[in-house]
Amino acid sequence: MKPSIKLVAGNSNRPLAEAISNYLEVPLASCLVRRFADMEIFVEIQENVRGEDVFIVQSTSFPANDHLMELLIITDALRRSSAKRITAVLPYFGYARQDRRATGRTPISAKLVANLITHAGADRVLTVDLHAGQIQGFFDIPTDNLFAAPVMVRDIRERVDLSNAMVVSPDVGGVVRARALAKRIDAPLAIVDKRRERPGESEVMNIIGDIAGKSCILVDDIIDSGGTLCNAADALLAKGAKEVYAYCTHGVLSGGAVARIASSRLKELVITDSIQATEAVKVAHNIRTITISTLLGEAIGRTATESSVSSLFD
């Protein structure tokens, strides 16, 4: 059954919002998001949303603060326009890496952002591959954390020889994520254990698992500078891996990350379109983007019809 919903897109990732719109066969609602001369954000919802089930598609990616403010102001505009229910669809939830106090006198920014979204008027949140699953508990509203794994598994099955594949976690913290993907493709698991023996010395990479002659698939949720994955690829190849692929949900790729990946020994980096790709990413010879528009579209449709979302991952 075609859901009765309104889709609103901010400026962070218009192509993904349009792809979701095409999947659901629901046009994007007319919404003006512009800046005044001093860069204040102004929003005008240009069609009736009274009593409607509204979904805002907006990643809080670079520039994170601008895109977060757009999301908050769009949410406020919809609440004041009497929308029945407002769901913030965040393909990429920025500030997720600030989910705890690593040292004294520091914020827990992920909780602050969760509070802002809630107080702006969102009734629920839909996001993809949170950096830490417990961030769902930072929200006092229903929060669905979707997984890009089914999309990645489909791509891996098409492109990698699974009889010789091994899934690798680039660090100890990502073992749960890597194990879940390894289980889906029935492949063994290896772990890169990195440690700094003394201050000022480079990290020593120890590989837990026999990866000799294997097609290794590094799995992570976020790739930012690219240093961890490139170093892990070098360590795997030094230990006899045949080739190294990397699959990451969120391609933040800040600074010189694209150049670092392009000159690395990674055979291919595969990211999703949770963050809109820059021109540098589009032309990089060993970076490829796969879409999560179908996954998000299906989840939005099921949320609108009060159907199960978790069954998408059974």
pLDDT digit string, tens, across residues 117-154 = 999 999 999 999 999 989 999 999 999 999 999 999 99
Full DSSP string of 59-71: ---SSHHHHHHHH
Average pLDDT over residues 265-278: 97
| Residue 195 predicted with pLDDT over 90 | no
Residue 199: which pLDDT band, with cuts at 50, 70 and 90?
low
Measured over all CA atoms, what is the biggest interatomic distance in the chain, rounded to whole angstroms?
Answer: 62
Distance in angstroms (rounded) separating the CA atoms of residues 219 and 262: 18
Position 200 scores a pLDDT of 54
Residue 97 among known ligand-binding residues? yes
Residue 133 among known ligand-binding residues? no
Question: Where in the chain are the domains?
Answer: 6-146+293-313, 149-290
Q: Token pair of 15, please?
A: 């192509």
**Could you list the active site residues?**
194
Q: Token pair of 17, please?
A: 């919002």
The model's pTM: 0.93
| Residue 51 predicted with pLDDT over 70 | yes
Position 205 scores a pLDDT of 76
Percent of the chain clearing pLDDT 90 (strictly above): 90
Q: Token pair of 291, please?
A: 């879409």
Average pLDDT over residues 108-125: 98
The amino acid at 64: A
* Same fold? 6-146+293-313, 149-290: yes
| Residue 102 predicted with pLDDT over 80 | yes
Q: Is 140 exposed, middle or buried (0-12, 13-18, 19+ CB in 10 A)?
A: exposed
Choices 3.40.50.2020, 3.30.420.10, 3.40.50.300, 3.40.50.720: CATH for 6-146+293-313: 3.40.50.2020
313 Rama class: left (phi>0) / alpha (psi -120 to 50) / beta: alpha
Residue 85 among known ligand-binding residues? no
Among the residues of the chain, which ranges form H helices?
14-24, 64-80, 109-120, 149-159, 175-185, 227-238, 257-262, 279-283, 293-304
Q: Regarding the domain delimited by 149-290, which CATH topology (the fold level of the hierarchy) does it fall under?
A: Rossmann fold (3.40.50)
Q: Token pair of 128, please?
A: 């993809």
Residue 171 among known ligand-binding residues? yes
Residue 314 among known ligand-binding residues? no
Residue 313: which pLDDT band, with cuts at 50, 70 and 90?
confident
